[in-house]
Chain A
Amino acid sequence: MHRVRALLPLLLTAACKPPPDEAQHMPQADPVRGKQAIVRAGCGACHVIPGLRWPQGQIGPSLEGFADQGLIAGRLPNRPDLLAAYVRDAPATLPGTTMPSMPLTRGEARDVAAYLYASGKR
Protein backbone atom coordinates (compact mmCIF):
# COMPACT_ATOMS: atom_id res chain seq x y z
CA MET A 1 0.00 0.00 0.00
CA HIS A 2 2.78 2.35 0.99
CA ARG A 3 4.56 1.62 -2.18
CA VAL A 4 1.53 2.24 -4.31
CA ARG A 5 0.83 5.52 -2.65
CA ALA A 6 4.41 6.59 -3.02
CA LEU A 7 4.56 5.66 -6.66
CA LEU A 8 1.37 7.44 -7.55
CA PRO A 9 2.75 10.99 -7.74
CA LEU A 10 5.74 9.59 -9.57
CA LEU A 11 3.52 8.17 -12.26
CA LEU A 12 1.59 11.39 -12.55
CA THR A 13 4.62 13.57 -12.88
CA ALA A 14 6.80 11.27 -14.90
CA ALA A 15 5.21 12.29 -18.15
CA CYS A 16 5.20 16.06 -17.89
CA LYS A 17 8.23 16.82 -15.80
CA PRO A 18 11.79 16.79 -17.15
CA PRO A 19 13.81 14.00 -15.59
CA PRO A 20 15.36 15.37 -12.43
CA ASP A 21 18.66 13.69 -13.25
CA GLU A 22 20.22 17.00 -14.28
CA ALA A 23 19.77 18.61 -10.92
CA GLN A 24 20.48 15.50 -8.93
CA HIS A 25 23.32 14.13 -10.98
CA MET A 26 26.12 12.91 -8.72
CA PRO A 27 29.02 11.73 -10.87
CA GLN A 28 31.37 10.52 -8.14
CA ALA A 29 28.76 8.82 -6.01
CA ASP A 30 27.75 5.17 -6.26
CA PRO A 31 24.20 4.23 -5.27
CA VAL A 32 25.22 0.60 -4.69
CA ARG A 33 27.72 1.64 -2.07
CA GLY A 34 25.09 4.05 -0.80
CA LYS A 35 22.75 1.19 -0.10
CA GLN A 36 25.47 -0.66 1.77
CA ALA A 37 26.13 2.41 3.86
CA ILE A 38 22.42 2.76 4.60
CA VAL A 39 22.33 -0.82 5.83
CA ARG A 40 25.47 -0.41 7.87
CA ALA A 41 24.31 2.82 9.48
CA GLY A 42 20.80 1.49 10.12
CA CYS A 43 18.86 4.32 8.48
CA GLY A 44 15.92 1.95 8.04
CA ALA A 45 15.28 1.94 11.78
CA CYS A 46 13.64 5.34 11.36
CA HIS A 47 12.72 5.59 7.67
CA VAL A 48 10.95 3.60 5.06
CA ILE A 49 13.58 3.45 2.33
CA PRO A 50 12.89 2.05 -1.13
CA GLY A 51 14.60 -1.26 -1.76
CA LEU A 52 15.13 -1.82 1.93
CA ARG A 53 12.79 -4.47 3.30
CA TRP A 54 13.94 -4.43 6.87
CA PRO A 55 13.73 -2.56 9.10
CA GLN A 56 11.10 -0.02 8.08
CA GLY A 57 10.86 2.36 11.01
CA GLN A 58 8.30 5.11 10.98
CA ILE A 59 9.55 7.70 13.41
CA GLY A 60 11.14 9.58 10.50
CA PRO A 61 9.47 10.35 7.18
CA SER A 62 9.41 7.87 4.36
CA LEU A 63 12.22 8.42 1.88
CA GLU A 64 10.44 6.91 -1.06
CA GLY A 65 10.47 9.01 -4.21
CA PHE A 66 12.99 11.37 -2.69
CA ALA A 67 14.03 12.65 -6.09
CA ASP A 68 10.68 14.33 -6.51
CA GLN A 69 10.61 15.92 -3.15
CA GLY A 70 10.88 19.69 -3.11
CA LEU A 71 12.59 20.15 0.22
CA ILE A 72 14.73 18.20 2.61
CA ALA A 73 13.07 17.92 6.01
CA GLY A 74 10.60 20.51 4.75
CA ARG A 75 13.08 23.36 4.92
CA LEU A 76 16.24 22.78 2.88
CA PRO A 77 16.28 22.85 -0.92
CA ASN A 78 16.56 19.34 -2.25
CA ARG A 79 20.09 19.52 -3.66
CA PRO A 80 22.67 16.75 -3.75
CA ASP A 81 25.28 18.63 -1.72
CA LEU A 82 22.80 19.59 0.96
CA LEU A 83 21.31 16.11 1.11
CA ALA A 84 24.75 14.57 1.48
CA ALA A 85 25.55 16.97 4.27
CA TYR A 86 22.19 16.46 5.92
CA VAL A 87 22.29 12.66 6.09
CA ARG A 88 25.72 12.82 7.67
CA ASP A 89 25.21 15.59 10.18
CA ALA A 90 21.66 16.83 10.21
CA PRO A 91 21.82 19.01 13.33
CA ALA A 92 24.73 20.98 11.86
CA THR A 93 23.07 21.37 8.47
CA LEU A 94 19.67 22.27 9.79
CA PRO A 95 19.73 23.32 13.44
CA GLY A 96 16.71 22.16 15.39
CA THR A 97 16.03 19.09 13.29
CA THR A 98 15.06 15.92 15.10
CA MET A 99 17.34 13.82 12.95
CA PRO A 100 20.59 12.96 14.70
CA SER A 101 23.92 12.85 12.95
CA MET A 102 24.94 9.53 11.50
CA PRO A 103 28.26 7.72 11.42
CA LEU A 104 28.94 8.24 7.71
CA THR A 105 32.02 9.57 5.92
CA ARG A 106 31.55 12.40 3.44
CA GLY A 107 31.97 9.95 0.59
CA GLU A 108 29.45 7.56 2.06
CA ALA A 109 27.04 10.39 2.62
CA ARG A 110 27.23 11.27 -1.08
CA ASP A 111 26.64 7.62 -1.94
CA VAL A 112 23.62 7.58 0.32
CA ALA A 113 22.25 10.70 -1.32
CA ALA A 114 22.82 9.15 -4.74
CA TYR A 115 20.96 6.06 -3.65
CA LEU A 116 18.04 8.05 -2.37
CA TYR A 117 17.78 9.92 -5.66
CA ALA A 118 18.21 6.80 -7.75
CA SER A 119 16.05 4.42 -5.87
CA GLY A 120 12.80 6.24 -6.36
CA LYS A 121 13.00 5.85 -10.09
CA ARG A 122 12.38 2.86 -12.21
Chain B
Amino acid sequence: MSRPISTLRASAEMTNGSIFPVFDPAGPYAGSITTLTWVLIAMFVAVLGVVISALWIALRGSGQLKARLGGTRAIWIGGIGFPVVVLTALLVYGLTLTRNLTAPVPQDAMRVRITGEMWWWRVAYLDRSGRPFMLDANELHIPAGRPVLLELESNDVIHSFWVPQLSGKLDMVPGRRNTLPIQADAPGVFAGQCAEYCGGPHALMGFVVIAHEPAAFDRLMATRRARRPAPDARGRQLFHSTGCAACHRIAGTEANGMAGPDLTHVGSRRSLGAGILPNNRGTMMGWIGDSQSIKPGNRMPPYKTLSAAELQALAAYLEAQR
Protein backbone atom coordinates (compact mmCIF):
# COMPACT_ATOMS: atom_id res chain seq x y z
CA MET B 1 0.00 0.00 0.00
CA SER B 2 1.27 3.40 -0.88
CA ARG B 3 1.98 5.80 1.94
CA PRO B 4 -1.13 7.64 3.11
CA ILE B 5 -1.67 10.82 1.24
CA SER B 6 -2.04 13.87 3.44
CA THR B 7 -5.50 15.21 3.84
CA LEU B 8 -6.65 17.32 1.01
CA ARG B 9 -6.23 20.98 1.68
CA ALA B 10 -9.05 21.92 -0.55
CA SER B 11 -9.81 25.32 0.78
CA ALA B 12 -6.19 26.26 1.31
CA GLU B 13 -5.29 25.33 -2.24
CA MET B 14 -8.33 27.05 -3.55
CA THR B 15 -7.63 30.33 -1.85
CA ASN B 16 -4.01 30.24 -0.70
CA GLY B 17 -5.44 31.86 2.41
CA SER B 18 -3.10 32.26 5.32
CA ILE B 19 -3.34 29.92 8.27
CA PHE B 20 -2.97 32.86 10.66
CA PRO B 21 -4.83 35.59 8.80
CA VAL B 22 -5.03 38.05 11.69
CA PHE B 23 -1.25 37.89 12.13
CA ASP B 24 -0.55 37.85 8.42
CA PRO B 25 -2.10 41.05 7.08
CA ALA B 26 -2.02 41.75 3.38
CA GLY B 27 -2.73 45.45 3.45
CA PRO B 28 -2.73 48.61 5.55
CA TYR B 29 -6.21 48.20 7.03
CA ALA B 30 -5.55 44.77 8.40
CA GLY B 31 -1.92 45.65 9.11
CA SER B 32 -2.62 48.32 11.65
CA ILE B 33 -4.98 45.95 13.45
CA THR B 34 -2.24 43.34 13.51
CA THR B 35 0.06 45.85 15.21
CA LEU B 36 -2.69 46.58 17.69
CA THR B 37 -3.18 42.87 18.26
CA TRP B 38 0.47 42.42 19.17
CA VAL B 39 0.30 45.40 21.52
CA LEU B 40 -2.78 43.90 23.18
CA ILE B 41 -1.13 40.52 23.50
CA ALA B 42 1.84 42.22 25.18
CA MET B 43 -0.57 44.02 27.49
CA PHE B 44 -2.29 40.72 28.23
CA VAL B 45 0.96 38.99 29.13
CA ALA B 46 2.22 41.91 31.23
CA VAL B 47 -0.97 42.40 33.23
CA LEU B 48 -1.52 38.71 33.74
CA GLY B 49 2.08 38.53 34.94
CA VAL B 50 1.48 41.33 37.42
CA VAL B 51 -1.70 39.75 38.78
CA ILE B 52 -0.24 36.27 39.06
CA SER B 53 2.92 37.61 40.74
CA ALA B 54 0.79 39.54 43.19
CA LEU B 55 -1.27 36.44 43.88
CA TRP B 56 1.89 34.41 44.30
CA ILE B 57 3.33 36.93 46.76
CA ALA B 58 0.06 36.98 48.68
CA LEU B 59 0.10 33.22 49.03
CA ARG B 60 3.75 32.34 49.22
CA GLY B 61 5.74 35.58 49.52
CA SER B 62 7.93 36.76 52.36
CA GLY B 63 6.32 38.49 55.28
CA GLN B 64 7.58 41.89 54.22
CA LEU B 65 6.23 41.63 50.69
CA LYS B 66 2.95 40.29 51.97
CA ALA B 67 2.65 43.20 54.36
CA ARG B 68 3.03 45.63 51.49
CA LEU B 69 0.36 43.87 49.51
CA GLY B 70 -2.07 43.48 52.36
CA GLY B 71 -3.80 46.80 52.57
CA THR B 72 -6.07 49.19 50.77
CA ARG B 73 -3.03 50.97 49.34
CA ALA B 74 -2.30 47.88 47.24
CA ILE B 75 -5.88 47.97 45.99
CA TRP B 76 -5.57 51.61 45.06
CA ILE B 77 -2.36 51.00 43.17
CA GLY B 78 -3.05 47.60 41.67
CA GLY B 79 -6.80 47.69 41.28
CA ILE B 80 -7.37 51.31 40.35
CA GLY B 81 -4.19 53.23 39.44
CA PHE B 82 -2.63 50.55 37.31
CA PRO B 83 -5.70 49.72 35.23
CA VAL B 84 -6.60 53.36 34.74
CA VAL B 85 -3.18 54.17 33.30
CA VAL B 86 -3.07 51.10 31.07
CA LEU B 87 -6.65 51.51 29.89
CA THR B 88 -6.35 55.21 29.16
CA ALA B 89 -3.29 54.63 27.05
CA LEU B 90 -5.00 51.80 25.20
CA LEU B 91 -8.17 53.78 24.71
CA VAL B 92 -6.35 56.70 23.10
CA TYR B 93 -4.52 54.31 20.82
CA GLY B 94 -7.67 52.37 19.97
CA LEU B 95 -9.81 55.39 19.23
CA THR B 96 -7.14 57.03 17.10
CA LEU B 97 -6.83 53.83 15.15
CA THR B 98 -10.60 53.56 14.80
CA ARG B 99 -10.68 57.05 13.33
CA ASN B 100 -7.87 56.28 10.91
CA LEU B 101 -9.46 53.04 9.79
CA THR B 102 -12.78 54.69 9.11
CA ALA B 103 -11.29 57.74 7.37
CA PRO B 104 -12.88 58.35 3.97
CA VAL B 105 -11.13 56.71 1.04
CA PRO B 106 -10.26 58.77 -2.06
CA GLN B 107 -13.23 59.73 -4.21
CA ASP B 108 -11.93 57.81 -7.20
CA ALA B 109 -11.50 54.57 -5.32
CA MET B 110 -13.11 51.56 -6.91
CA ARG B 111 -16.46 50.72 -5.34
CA VAL B 112 -18.05 47.31 -5.14
CA ARG B 113 -21.39 46.46 -3.63
CA ILE B 114 -21.47 43.15 -1.83
CA THR B 115 -24.85 41.91 -0.72
CA GLY B 116 -25.24 39.12 1.77
CA GLU B 117 -27.65 36.39 0.75
CA MET B 118 -28.56 33.15 2.46
CA TRP B 119 -25.77 31.63 2.00
CA TRP B 120 -23.74 33.32 -0.69
CA TRP B 121 -22.58 36.78 -1.69
CA ARG B 122 -23.87 38.97 -4.49
CA VAL B 123 -21.10 41.09 -5.98
CA ALA B 124 -21.72 44.17 -8.09
CA TYR B 125 -18.88 46.29 -9.44
CA LEU B 126 -20.01 49.92 -9.47
CA ASP B 127 -19.14 52.67 -11.89
CA ARG B 128 -18.39 56.26 -10.95
CA SER B 129 -22.04 57.09 -10.56
CA GLY B 130 -22.60 54.13 -8.27
CA ARG B 131 -24.45 52.01 -10.82
CA PRO B 132 -23.53 48.34 -11.18
CA PHE B 133 -21.77 47.58 -14.45
CA MET B 134 -20.71 44.03 -13.79
CA LEU B 135 -22.29 41.34 -11.67
CA ASP B 136 -20.57 38.40 -10.09
CA ALA B 137 -20.84 36.28 -6.99
CA ASN B 138 -18.75 34.92 -4.14
CA GLU B 139 -15.50 36.31 -5.52
CA LEU B 140 -14.04 39.75 -5.68
CA HIS B 141 -11.20 40.89 -7.92
CA ILE B 142 -9.33 43.98 -6.80
CA PRO B 143 -6.26 45.85 -7.95
CA ALA B 144 -3.33 45.54 -5.55
CA GLY B 145 -1.99 48.65 -3.90
CA ARG B 146 -5.20 50.64 -4.17
CA PRO B 147 -7.97 51.09 -1.63
CA VAL B 148 -11.31 49.61 -2.61
CA LEU B 149 -14.51 50.66 -0.94
CA LEU B 150 -17.04 47.92 -0.30
CA GLU B 151 -20.70 48.78 0.15
CA LEU B 152 -22.09 46.05 2.35
CA GLU B 153 -25.79 45.29 2.26
CA SER B 154 -28.08 42.39 2.91
CA ASN B 155 -31.17 41.11 1.19
CA ASP B 156 -32.43 38.82 3.91
CA VAL B 157 -30.86 38.36 7.33
CA ILE B 158 -27.79 39.80 8.97
CA HIS B 159 -24.46 38.56 7.59
CA SER B 160 -20.99 39.75 8.34
CA PHE B 161 -18.26 40.30 5.79
CA TRP B 162 -14.88 39.13 7.05
CA VAL B 163 -11.68 38.72 5.07
CA PRO B 164 -9.25 38.87 7.99
CA GLN B 165 -6.13 39.47 5.91
CA LEU B 166 -7.62 42.60 4.40
CA SER B 167 -9.57 44.21 7.26
CA GLY B 168 -11.79 43.58 10.23
CA LYS B 169 -15.33 42.40 9.79
CA LEU B 170 -18.38 44.51 9.18
CA ASP B 171 -22.00 43.44 9.39
CA MET B 172 -24.43 43.43 6.50
CA VAL B 173 -27.68 44.61 8.00
CA PRO B 174 -30.90 44.58 5.97
CA GLY B 175 -32.12 48.10 5.32
CA ARG B 176 -28.70 49.61 5.93
CA ARG B 177 -25.56 50.19 3.95
CA ASN B 178 -22.19 49.90 5.65
CA THR B 179 -18.97 50.82 3.92
CA LEU B 180 -15.72 48.99 4.43
CA PRO B 181 -12.41 50.00 2.86
CA ILE B 182 -10.03 47.17 2.03
CA GLN B 183 -6.66 47.11 0.39
CA ALA B 184 -4.17 44.43 -0.60
CA ASP B 185 -0.61 45.63 -1.02
CA ALA B 186 0.43 42.82 -3.34
CA PRO B 187 -1.34 40.33 -5.57
CA GLY B 188 -2.69 37.35 -3.75
CA VAL B 189 -5.73 35.33 -2.87
CA PHE B 190 -7.47 35.88 0.45
CA ALA B 191 -10.14 33.79 2.08
CA GLY B 192 -13.13 35.10 3.92
CA GLN B 193 -16.17 33.68 5.63
CA CYS B 194 -19.49 34.93 6.89
CA ALA B 195 -19.05 35.82 10.53
CA GLU B 196 -22.61 36.51 11.68
CA TYR B 197 -24.76 33.48 12.25
CA CYS B 198 -27.31 33.45 9.46
CA GLY B 199 -28.90 30.05 9.98
CA GLY B 200 -28.65 26.81 8.03
CA PRO B 201 -25.33 26.34 6.29
CA HIS B 202 -23.85 29.53 7.75
CA ALA B 203 -20.72 27.46 8.33
CA LEU B 204 -20.30 27.00 4.57
CA MET B 205 -20.56 30.59 3.39
CA GLY B 206 -17.10 31.44 2.18
CA PHE B 207 -15.73 34.25 0.07
CA VAL B 208 -12.61 34.78 -1.97
CA VAL B 209 -10.79 38.01 -2.74
CA ILE B 210 -8.20 37.99 -5.52
CA ALA B 211 -5.81 40.91 -5.78
CA HIS B 212 -4.08 41.49 -9.12
CA GLU B 213 -1.30 43.76 -10.33
CA PRO B 214 -3.14 46.90 -11.45
CA ALA B 215 -2.32 46.27 -15.09
CA ALA B 216 -3.49 42.68 -14.87
CA PHE B 217 -6.60 43.83 -13.09
CA ASP B 218 -7.38 46.32 -15.85
CA ARG B 219 -6.87 43.59 -18.43
CA LEU B 220 -9.21 41.29 -16.54
CA MET B 221 -11.90 43.92 -16.39
CA ALA B 222 -11.43 44.72 -20.07
CA THR B 223 -11.70 41.04 -20.98
CA ARG B 224 -14.82 40.64 -18.95
CA ARG B 225 -16.42 43.73 -20.43
CA ALA B 226 -15.61 42.56 -23.92
CA ARG B 227 -16.90 39.06 -23.31
CA ARG B 228 -19.43 37.43 -25.59
CA PRO B 229 -21.68 34.64 -24.42
CA ALA B 230 -20.20 31.26 -25.24
CA PRO B 231 -21.49 30.09 -28.63
CA ASP B 232 -22.81 26.83 -27.25
CA ALA B 233 -26.38 26.52 -28.40
CA ARG B 234 -26.99 23.13 -26.75
CA GLY B 235 -25.70 24.21 -23.37
CA ARG B 236 -27.59 27.45 -23.58
CA GLN B 237 -30.78 25.70 -24.51
CA LEU B 238 -30.29 23.15 -21.74
CA PHE B 239 -29.61 25.90 -19.23
CA HIS B 240 -32.95 27.34 -20.13
CA SER B 241 -34.98 24.14 -20.35
CA THR B 242 -33.67 22.68 -17.12
CA GLY B 243 -34.85 25.75 -15.29
CA CYS B 244 -31.43 27.10 -14.33
CA ALA B 245 -32.27 30.41 -15.95
CA ALA B 246 -35.12 31.02 -13.55
CA CYS B 247 -32.65 31.74 -10.80
CA HIS B 248 -29.38 32.46 -12.53
CA ARG B 249 -28.33 35.17 -14.89
CA ILE B 250 -25.81 34.88 -17.70
CA ALA B 251 -25.28 38.25 -19.29
CA GLY B 252 -26.00 38.35 -23.01
CA THR B 253 -28.36 35.38 -22.91
CA GLU B 254 -32.00 35.04 -22.03
CA ALA B 255 -31.00 33.66 -18.61
CA ASN B 256 -31.99 36.47 -16.36
CA GLY B 257 -32.85 35.05 -12.94
CA MET B 258 -31.68 37.10 -10.03
CA ALA B 259 -32.51 34.80 -7.12
CA GLY B 260 -29.25 32.89 -7.27
CA PRO B 261 -25.66 33.80 -7.99
CA ASP B 262 -24.85 35.49 -11.30
CA LEU B 263 -23.10 32.95 -13.52
CA THR B 264 -21.81 35.29 -16.23
CA HIS B 265 -18.22 34.66 -15.17
CA VAL B 266 -18.63 31.39 -13.34
CA GLY B 267 -16.11 29.60 -15.51
CA SER B 268 -13.32 31.85 -14.35
CA ARG B 269 -14.11 31.52 -10.66
CA ARG B 270 -11.70 29.79 -8.38
CA SER B 271 -14.45 28.33 -6.26
CA LEU B 272 -18.00 27.02 -6.30
CA GLY B 273 -20.74 26.89 -3.69
CA ALA B 274 -19.68 30.22 -2.13
CA GLY B 275 -15.99 29.71 -1.60
CA ILE B 276 -16.17 26.12 -0.48
CA LEU B 277 -15.33 23.94 -3.51
CA PRO B 278 -12.57 24.15 -6.05
CA ASN B 279 -13.99 24.89 -9.46
CA ASN B 280 -13.51 21.97 -11.81
CA ARG B 281 -15.55 19.69 -13.99
CA GLY B 282 -16.33 17.22 -11.25
CA THR B 283 -17.38 19.75 -8.65
CA MET B 284 -19.42 21.66 -11.21
CA MET B 285 -21.35 18.56 -12.17
CA GLY B 286 -21.62 17.35 -8.61
CA TRP B 287 -22.92 20.71 -7.48
CA ILE B 288 -25.53 20.87 -10.23
CA GLY B 289 -26.60 17.28 -9.62
CA ASP B 290 -26.95 17.42 -5.88
CA SER B 291 -25.62 20.47 -4.11
CA GLN B 292 -27.63 19.48 -1.05
CA SER B 293 -25.30 16.64 -0.22
CA ILE B 294 -22.38 19.04 -0.32
CA LYS B 295 -23.88 22.12 1.32
CA PRO B 296 -27.02 20.95 3.10
CA GLY B 297 -29.78 23.49 3.33
CA ASN B 298 -28.66 25.74 0.50
CA ARG B 299 -31.36 27.19 -1.73
CA MET B 300 -30.49 25.29 -4.91
CA PRO B 301 -32.60 22.18 -5.47
CA PRO B 302 -30.94 18.92 -6.56
CA TYR B 303 -31.17 17.95 -10.25
CA LYS B 304 -30.73 14.22 -9.94
CA THR B 305 -32.70 13.42 -13.06
CA LEU B 306 -30.24 15.01 -15.42
CA SER B 307 -28.60 12.47 -17.68
CA ALA B 308 -24.85 12.09 -17.86
CA ALA B 309 -24.76 13.87 -21.15
CA GLU B 310 -26.92 16.74 -19.95
CA LEU B 311 -24.82 17.22 -16.87
CA GLN B 312 -21.74 17.14 -19.02
CA ALA B 313 -23.15 19.69 -21.43
CA LEU B 314 -24.30 22.05 -18.70
CA ALA B 315 -20.94 21.89 -16.98
CA ALA B 316 -19.12 22.54 -20.21
CA TYR B 317 -21.41 25.47 -20.97
CA LEU B 318 -20.84 27.01 -17.56
CA GLU B 319 -17.10 26.45 -17.72
CA ALA B 320 -17.09 28.50 -20.88
CA GLN B 321 -18.70 31.47 -19.11
CA ARG B 322 -15.54 33.32 -18.24
Contacts and interface: CB of A to CB of B under 8 A. Distances in A.
A and B touch in the complex (CB under 8 A): yes
Interface of A: 30-32, 35, 39-46, 51-59, 90-91, 97-103, 118, 121-122
Interface stretch (B69-77, B169-177, B206-214, B275-283): B275-283
A46 B285 contact: yes
Q: Which of B281, B287, B290, B311 has the most CB of A within 10 A?
A: B281
Contact of A57 (B5, B8, B10, B293): B293
Given A35-B5, A100-B311, 12 more contacts: A42-B284, A44-B286, A45-B283, A45-B294, A51-B4, A54-B10, A55-B276, A58-B293, A59-B290, A97-B308, A100-B312, A102-B281
Given A32-B2, A46-B289, A91 B308 contact: yes
Main secondary structure of the interface of A (DSSP, over half): loop
Interface residues of B, number: 32
Contacts of B286: 42, 44-46, 55, 57, 59
17 contacts: A39-B10, A40-B280, A41-B281, A43-B282, A44-B282, A45-B286, A51-B4, A57-B286, A58-B290, A59-B293, A91-B309, A100-B308, A100-B309, A100-B315, A102-B281, A103-B280, A118-B2
Contacts of B285: 42, 45-46, 100
Nearest to A58: B293
B307 interface: yes
A55 B10 contact: yes
B144 to A, nearest CB: 28
Given A55-B294, A122-B1, A42 B289 contact: no
B281 A103 contact: yes
Contacts of B280: 40-42, 103
B308 A53 contact: no
Nearest to A90: B308
A99 B289 CA distance: 11
| A-B CB proximity, top 4 nearest | A45-B286, A42-B282, A42-B283, A58-B293
B312 A41 contact: no
Contacts of B10: 39, 53-55
A56 to B, nearest CB: 8
A98 B8 contact: no
Q: Which of B4, B294, B302, B312 has the most CB of A within 10 A?
A: B294
Interface of B: 1-5, 7-8, 10-11, 276-278, 280-287, 289-290, 293-294, 302, 304, 307-309, 311-312, 315
Nearest to B306: A98
A58 B315 CA distance: 18
A119 to B, nearest CB: 9
Q: Which of B11, B286, B287 has the most CB of A within 10 A?
A: B286
Contact of A98 (B278, B284, B293, B307): B307
A122 B280 CA distance: 30
Nearest to B304: A59
Nearest to A35: B5
Contacts of A30: 2
B3 to A, nearest CB: 8
Contact of B281 (A31, A42, A91): A42
A32 B5 contact: yes
Contacts of A98: 307-308
Contacts of B3: 32
Given A45-B287, A59-B293, A100-B309, A53 B7 contact: yes
A41 B304 contact: no
A118 B1 contact: yes
A54 B10 CA distance: 7
A55 B296 CA distance: 12
Contacts of A122: 1
Contacts of B8: 39, 52-54
A40 B169 CA distance: 32
A55 B312 contact: no
A40 B289 CA distance: 18
Contacts of A99: 308
A40 B281 CA distance: 9
